[in-house]
A and B are shown apart, each in its own frame.
Chain A
Amino acid sequence: MDEFLTNLPVYRDAIRQTFYIVLVSLAAGGVLGLGLGLVLYATRPGNLLANRAVFVVVNVLVNVVRPVPFVIFLTAIQPLMLHTIGTTIGTDAVTFALSLAAAFAVSRIVEQSLLTVDPGVIEAARAAGARRVGILITVVIPEALGPIILGYTFIFVAVVDMSAQAGLFGGGGLGDFAITYGSQRYNWPVVYITVATMIVIVQAGQFLGNWLARRALRR
């Protein structure tokens, strides 16, 4: 316990890093994933912007990337990281990889949420003379907002999880802290305190997500 207190500033930094990694990845991956999800939804055969070629390409891409375990994904995209951000280790590298991984996960969740929208509502918008892209933004997304928010909450928890795994690669954050100051020194209180911290973060995120979703559903 004494040793934990001496490492308190490091712990604080770790929390700050975790927040940075998670929030940046969630924002970047969230936007990218929303775009991919919209493309998947809209180009699906029979839908608003049905386009078989685009749908098949994006669908296969998402299917190939999504099941890859994050730790393997992180190593697999190292050439891409070198090319784009010039490094393969550290917080920025982890954030980059995590953003990509989150985007692919988000895309499926967004697609699934949008598919729950009643096609009749879309037909009503078309009958009113709305443009198809306009319908996606003014009708489809608002109608699916509740499930979308719950989906993002789910992804938030997954991103916290993956950010901790990235600790193995010196990515910084709580996972890194628990490994370096905890398990490697057989200092179990540090490990448990870190785990407890992550549980609190996840619970808080879940709570916020549920609250927002309830507001969006207004029921």
Chain B
Amino acid sequence: MTVAEPESTTGGEPSGSPEQEQEHGQEHGQGQGHERGQGQGQVHVRLEHVHKTFPGKGQRSTPFVALDDVSADIRRGEVFGIIGQSGAGKSTLIRLVNGLESPTSGTVRVGDHDLTALGERDRRQVRRDIGMVFQQFNLFRSRTVAGNVAYPLKVAGVGRPERDRRVASLLDFVGLLDRAHDHPERLSGGQKQRVGIARALATEPSLLLVDEATSALDPQTTGEVLAVLRRANRKLGVTIVIITHELDVIRAVADRVAVLHDGRIVEQAGVYDVFARPQAEETARLIGTTLRERPSEATLERLRRKHTGRIVSVRIQDRAGLQTEVARVFAEHKVAAEIIFGGIGEVQERPVGSLTFELLGETAAIDDALRALRAEGVDLIEENP
């Protein structure tokens, strides 16, 4: 029996410097942040039937459809994840939200603004209320750490004394106050990204766009960076849109998630629901690579060779006494049940996973037991071919 790995990418209490937040601790429930946004539940970003087609390069190549009828509502104060493999259209999608890209058709609303109806000048104003964090950090090499964080404030016309005060408090927030006068190339990857986050938060934006912020980092620094992001969400109430191809990132920080595949949103739901009951095939495949408690086809074949009885997997749900219930039903029907594979992990403090049983007994009894379990709402998957 294998047990799913515990969450390794989550940080801890939102206090102290990010380095101290490495101990395992999970306290991120759905929308339970104490200091979090007023008016939560209000729509912050709305994408409606967004299409984006890039003209093909060269003469005979066909146009490339990056986004195909994408609609989504992102609520004020939430962390909204967008997951998909590279080439799924994630980067295009996030760039629509701050108007660096325009949709071919459809509308993009941020707050009260319809970005698609605005010219470059008005978009610039909207952008000052939107921070952006990049995969490759994109720090200005010609400026110090403090200079990088000060840049958006200069752009916004914030005066020197106020600027200095804000830069100091932001660097303190990301735990890099002592590196203010260093140049970015002297920092590690994780530190660079924290500067990137401080810069993105400089103008106190209400919305933070995070583009694969941890993909260039190792697992340990990924944890640091995610902890800072979560703290920004909790303490500053900033809405976060985070795109990633790593399910662990979604699991660690997101409240809700959209699964993007070939330019379409194939599934959109709360993070727990997506992990516990993936609806789309693409989602199930994505999750299969992260949660390993469901046996793969190869594992199943091995299990079938070793165990000659009926093989059935039970999907773990957030429901008290589920296993007691299962054990009771099997006992009542005189079915011997042996756990041969599986594991239980946690997403947003709620259990997810699956247990695979070998059932021995009379065929009719097993059928009756399974029928009884289904009647009780237990999610069963028969694993025999």
Contacts and interface: CB of A to CB of B under 8 A. Distances in A.
A54 interface: no
Nearest to B152: A128
Contacts of A139: 140
Interface in A123-156: 123-132, 134, 138-139, 142-143, 145
B141 A127 contact: no
A118 B124 contact: no
Top 6 closest pairs, chain A to chain B, by CB: A120-B138, A127-B132, A142-B142, A128-B152, A129-B128, A129-B127
Contact of A124 (B124, B128, B130, B132): B132
B169 to A, nearest CB: 18
Interface string B356-381: 00000000000000000000000000
A129 B120 CA distance: 10
Given A130-B124, A130-B155, A142-B143, 9 more contacts: A118-B138, A124-B134, A127-B127, A128-B155, A129-B128, A130-B151, A132-B120, A143-B140, A143-B141
A105 to B, nearest CB: 25
B124 A129 contact: yes
Interface in A11-62: none
Interface of A: 118, 120-121, 123-132, 134, 138-139, 142-143, 145, 216, 218-219
A126 B99 CA distance: 10
Interface in B94-140: 98, 100, 120, 124-125, 127-128, 130-132, 134, 136, 138-140
B100 A142 contact: no
Contacts of A218: 183
B167 to A, nearest CB: 14
B70 to A, nearest CB: 21
Given A123-B100, A131-B124, A143 B138 contact: no
A216 B125 CA distance: 32
Contacts of B156: 129
Is the interface on chain B under 10, 10 to 19, 20 to 34, or 35 or more residues? 20 to 34
B185 interface: yes
A38 to B, nearest CB: 17
Contact of A123 (B130, B131, B138, B142): B138
Given A120-B134, A134-B155, A219-B185, A127 B140 contact: no
A129 B100 contact: no
Given A134-B155, A218-B183, A219-B185, A126 B140 contact: no
A41 to B, nearest CB: 16
B346 to A, nearest CB: 35
B151 A125 contact: yes
Given A134-B155, A218-B183, A129 B138 contact: no
A137 to B, nearest CB: 12
Given A123-B100, A219-B185, A129 B125 contact: yes
A125 B134 CA distance: 12
Contacts of B209: 127
12 contacts: A121-B138, A124-B132, A124-B199, A125-B151, A127-B98, A127-B132, A128-B151, A129-B203, A138-B151, A142-B140, A143-B141, A216-B142
A138 B143 CA distance: 10
Nearest to B124: A129
Interface string B138-158: 111111000000011011100
B132 A120 contact: no
Contacts of B202: 128
A207 B132 CA distance: 41
Interface string B175-215: 00000000101000000000000010011000001000000
Contacts of A138: 151, 154
Nearest to B129: A129
B155 A129 contact: yes
Interface in B16-50: none
Given A120-B136, A134-B155, A219-B185, A126 B100 contact: yes
B212 to A, nearest CB: 12
A125 B132 CA distance: 10
B264 to A, nearest CB: 25
